[in-house]
Amino acid sequence: PAVGLVLPGRHVQTLVLFSLHPPDVYSFQEEGPVSDPHLAKHLAHFGIDMLHTNGVLRSLSGSLSPPSPFTTKLGHGLLSGQYSKPPVKSELIEQVMKEEHKSHPEFSSNRQQDAQEFFLHLVNLVERNRIGSENPSDVFRFLVEERIQCCQTRKVRYTERVDYLMQLPVAMEAATNKDELIAYELMRREAEVNRRPLPELVRAKIPFSACLQAFAEPDNVDDFWSSALQAKSAGVKTSRFASFPEYLVVQIKKFTFGLDWVPRKFDVSIDMPDLLDISHLRARGLQPGEEELPDISPPIVIPDDSKDRLMNQLIDPSDIDESSVMQLAEMGFPLEACRKAVYFTGNTGAEVAFNWIIVHMEEPDFAEPLTVPGYGGAGASVFGATGLDNQPPEEIVAIITSMGFQRNQAVQALRATNHNLERALDWIFSHPEFEEDSDFVIEMENNANANIMSEAKPEGPRVKDGSGMYELFAFISHMGTSTMSGHYVCHIKKEGRWVIYNDHKVCASERPPKDLGYMYFYRRIPS
């Protein structure tokens, strides 16, 4: 039977169908599914356009197959008849429509958009607008363990972050047809000089195993600050899966920048497997014989004019510039870390937020969600009840220490200003002679430890961990030569057959170009 979803917004205002052509619908009179070759026309009568759908949404439809609670709700939407009335904007739909256009200006424009960016944008919308305990994005969420090692002292630091897709580099150096590529490039240049037709395209053939190996290899950490040396040093980082998601989204990093900083695309062929085993990429944690780096943050130099800047940067979390967030996320940084970077730099742009990320990326809570219940003139009450003995809430202390000030200094300033964040910042700048008082420090730490011990440990990100065996069921392809132009199509495997979705054209695909995809969707194989 057909199942569908009506989604708001200019780019995704459509009905996503999960059926083959001709589509099936449920007949209450005949108590069973029947074929309706004119379903599009019949749905159009109710204002539903099923012929224009985004490739990402089509691919996601294949991932949320029954008995997913999300898909069950979609089925109810069609079969109950509850939504077969003239469109009425509910409060939720209005909210999502506003969020889609306000939070990401790029997707409300007519410019070329990126499927990976849209996927993260959609996940972000779902995260912010979900109702109840069920969260459809849980099936894509996984934890990444990052191991950073100081090359000089050999000490290590392990951290975890949340991610929603696996980004694979294109290992061009592993191409198996290098002689063909050299010959093609010579013929192409000669044809351009002589103004003759270009030769038939020859794509680099890259083994998938080489891309997977490149993902697993250590990366150099630029501007690494070693807490063991208290100075900058050489560092390397490796990434492993601390959990495996129920549905694994793999992005091939085909888009890059040339030496002239002009966006370009790697038009390559990669033998993507139907069955994928990444069990060997499971994280192992701290190993015997490894010594951890000291938990010390790098010093932050505060400029003279920082007071006004810090005051102005305290923005409402709901007003975070999502376009800057997505620019940072596209670089491979965790989504939650990108949101914190944009928040703590006051929506001053992706470049400034990038600098914040470089300074804070080694902190243990780097990729944890942004939690700022309130701030500013409303005082401490918006942060929750204050502790006994005038102990300020940890949320406000964390904001001030994230700006580079000492914890003791932050607590004393908040105590002196009745836990008002803005007044506490003003107090800090007006007391440059601040010195730690030993009695005060002991009292402060005792109270802080007591409060921390009395609080329950916060629940971590929800993940659906399991085996690392997957099967391919959908992929999205980009047709075009650069990021500035082109067209997206998607293929979905339905009942053992591949189907291509190209705008309103839906048909069987006899030879799906699995080697030319941009984003791949894998479903976990039950162990």
With bands split at pLDDT 50, 70 and 90, how would you rate the model's confidence at 21?
A: very low
Res. 103: pLDDT tops 60? no
Long-range own/partner contacts, residues 57-60 (CB < 8 A, 24 or more apart): 57/5, 57/7, 57/12, 57/14, 57/16, 57/122, 58/16, 58/474, 58/490, 58/492, 58/501, 59/474, 59/475, 59/476, 59/490, 59/492, 59/519, 59/521, 60/122, 60/521
| Residue 261 DSSP symbol | S
Res. 459: pLDDT tops 90? no
User: What torsion do the CA atoms of 249, 284, 366, 113 make, to the nearest 10 degrees?
Assistant: -10
Taking alpha carbons only, the member of 1, 372, 63, 8 closest to residue 248 is 63
CB 9 within 8 A of CB 92: no
Neighbour count for residue 267 (Cβ, 10 Å): 14
**446: helix, strand or coil:** helix
Measure the CA–CA gap between 474 and 457, rounded to whole angstroms.
Answer: 39
DSSP per-residue codes, 36-103: -TTHHHHHHTTT---S---HHHHHHHHHS-TT-HHHHHHHHHHHT-TT-SS----HHHHHHHHHHHHH
Measure the CA–CA gap between 233 and 231, rounded to whole angstroms.
Answer: 6
- Residues 271-330 have pLDDT tens digits of 999 999 999 999 999 999 999 999 887 765 555 554 555 555 556 666 788 888 888 887
Domain range 394-430, CATH architecture = Orthogonal Bundle (1.10)
What pLDDT does 97 receive? 47
Domain ranges of the chain: 1-57, 63-110, 112-171+207-297+468-526, 322-361, 394-430
322-361 and 394-430 in the same fold: yes
63 has which bridge partners?
none
Cα 75 to chain centroid distance, Å, stands at 28
- Residues 360-377 have pLDDT tens digits of 887 777 877 776 644 443
> What is the average pLDDT value for the chain, to the nearest integer?
75
- Residues 409-453 have pLDDT tens digits of 888 888 877 777 777 777 787 776 665 444 444 454 555 455 444
What pLDDT does 13 receive? 32
Res. 9: pLDDT tops 60? no
Pair of tokens at residue 12: 């995704």
Pair of tokens at residue 525: 């194989």
Taking alpha carbons only, the member of 59, 140, 114, 112 closest to residue 254 is 114
What pLDDT does 236 receive? 93
Res. 386: pLDDT tops 50? no
Q: Cα 128–134–137 angle (5° rounding)?
A: 55
CB 139 within 8 A of CB 246: yes
User: Looking at the whole model, is its pTM more than 0.75?
Assistant: no
With bands split at pLDDT 50, 70 and 90, how would you rate the model's confidence at 212?
A: very high
- Residues 132-148 have pLDDT tens digits of 777 888 999 999 999 99
With bands split at pLDDT 50, 70 and 90, how would you rate the model's confidence at 218?
A: very high
Res. 102: pLDDT tops 70? no
What pLDDT does 6 receive? 34
Rounded mean pLDDT, 218-226: 87
Measure the CA–CA gap between 161 and 141, rounded to whole angstroms.
Answer: 10
β pairing state of 142-150 and 156-163: antiparallel
Res. 10: pLDDT tops 50? no
Res. 461: pLDDT tops 80? no
Instruction: Say whether 45 is catalytic.
Output: no
What pLDDT does 477 receive? 93
With bands split at pLDDT 50, 70 and 90, how would you rate the model's confidence at 339?
A: confident
What pLDDT does 394 receive? 73
Domain range 322-361, CATH architecture = Orthogonal Bundle (1.10)
What pLDDT does 296 receive? 81
Least-confidence region, from 37-46, 212-221, 328-337, 338-347? 37-46
- Residues 162-206 have pLDDT tens digits of 999 999 999 999 999 999 999 999 999 999 999 999 999 999 999
Rounded mean pLDDT, 241-260: 86
What pLDDT does 31 receive? 58
What pLDDT does 32 receive? 61
What pLDDT does 489 receive? 93
Taking alpha carbons only, the member of 302, 193, 281 closest to residue 238 is 281
pLDDT: is 300 or 270 the higher one?
270
Measure the CA–CA gap between 527 and 524, rounded to whole angstroms.
Answer: 9
Q: Which of 76, 487, 491, 504 is catalytic?
A: 487
**Residues contacting 288, CB < 8 A, separation 6+:** none
Domain range 112-171+207-297+468-526, CATH architecture = Alpha-Beta Complex (3.90)
